[in-house]
Amino acid sequence: MADGLKRERGWSGSAPPFNTHTAKMVVFALLIINKAGGLIYNRTFSPGLQNLTSNDALILAGTFHGIHAISRSINPAPQPPPQPNARRPPTTGIESLESSHFRLTCFQTPTGVKFLLFTSPEQPNTDVVVRRCYELYGDFVVKNPFYSMEMPIRVEKFERALAGYLVRP
Amino acid sequence: MSVYSFYIFDRHTECIYSKRWAQAAIQRNSATSALSNGDVAPATRKALTVEDDAKLIFGTVFSLRRIVRQLGGDDDSFLSYRTGEYKLHYFETPTQLKFVMLTDTRVGNMRTVLHQIWATLYVEYVVKNPLAPIEHPKGVGVSNQLFEGGLESFINTIFSPQS
């Protein structure tokens, strides 16, 4: 199956820029989108993705915010039978997206903040990584008394903690 | 493992074929034949019609495809996305024909399956059909008996009703 997959990937065009055998498991970038769809944090950790201008990144965040909402409304799966005295489980939007060059893991917090983690397709446990980023956000950004909610994140300790966690030596 | 729906979009962004499968349990209870059209809307549907759904799915796929190109470069291609409830698989031919399939989340990579549908069913029964028009406005010529039957049996072999 893995062999077939590689052939499939090579089929759609020229060869990918890196060899899928030797590609390191890497985290490419982290984006944080606030509950209104605005980009509040954008950081690249290792090269691999195309460089985006800050304008493009804002557009991407807004587009993804919309698609995330649409993906909830086109849910074709049957609803589980309603449990008495239980709230209906909210449908989730896009949780992970795969392309031939990267994988995008999206984690939406109960307050509507979205964490978008771009990794290589081989990276395991991306849901754990993205939850850890959420913890760091809670510790260093939300608990910072000088940070105003929904605004772009410029917190030095958060930068350092993320770099310590996501950048491999 | 179960499949929910299947769509083909042409290069003019039009949905030229769509098919929805009712849940296996419902289908067995109502004892419909294997070739009946799976147009039974699941109970969750209220306001959205099949056409509305197709438009939403096209919009989603179109935007995601553009995002993926923007981030991964021109030779990158969008493969699939997964939510908590379903998974959407995507395959695009060099002629910009788009094949989309919605399944449950336990299904693995379906790109080869969509490629098979294109190569062995669509090309054989629609493209090579001398009576079918070159373009398929409103799906003319796509939903012929051979294609529908082939698709139904192909899907049945992959998603057998027992599992």
Please report, for chain A, the start and end positions of each structural domain, with discontinuous segments joined by +.
24-74+90-166
Tokens encoding B12: 């003019």
The count of domains in chain B is 1
Amino acid identity for residue B61 in this structure: V
Could you tell me which chain B residue has the CA closest to the CA of A94? Answer: B83
- Asked if A63 and B67 come within 8 Å (Cβ–Cβ), the reply is yes
Residues of chain B neighbouring A101 (CB-CB closer than 8 A): 72-73, 76
- Nearest-neighbour CA in chain B from A32: distance (Å): 16
Q: Which of A63, A74, A95 sits opposite B57 (nearest CB)?
A: A74
- Asked if B81 and A77 come within 8 Å (Cβ–Cβ), the reply is no
Residue B74 lies in a domain: yes
- Asked if B112 and A70 come within 8 Å (Cβ–Cβ), the reply is no
Q: With the C-alpha atoms ordered B72, B73, B75, B81, is the resulting torsion angle positive or negative?
A: positive
Residue B38 lies in a domain: no
Distance CA A158, CA A114 (A): 17
Q: Tell me, what CATH number does B75's domain have?
A: 3.30.450.70
Domain that holds residue B147: 3-24+44-158
Amino acid identity for residue A79 in this structure: Q
Alpha helices, DSSP H only, in A74-124? none
Element of type H or E holding A7: helix A2-11
Per residue in A106-136, pLDDT (tens digit) is 999 999 999 999 999 988 899 999 999 999 9
pLDDT of amino acid A7: 43
Residue B83 lies in a domain: yes
Residue B15 lies in a domain: yes
Q: Which fold has domain A24-74+90-166?
A: Beta-Lactamase (3.30.450)
Per residue in A36-46, pLDDT (tens digit) is 999 999 999 98
What is the reported pTM? Answer: 0.80
Angle at A43 between CA A37 and CA A49, to 5 degrees: 95
B108 exposed, middle or buried (CB, 10 Å; 0-12, 13-18, 19+)?
middle
Element of type H or E holding A99: strand A94-99
Residue B29 lies in a domain: no
Residue B32 lies in a domain: no
Helix (H, G, I), strand (E, B) or coil at A21: coil
If one compares A162 and B44, the residue with the highest pLDDT of the two is A162
Helix (H, G, I), strand (E, B) or coil at B91: strand
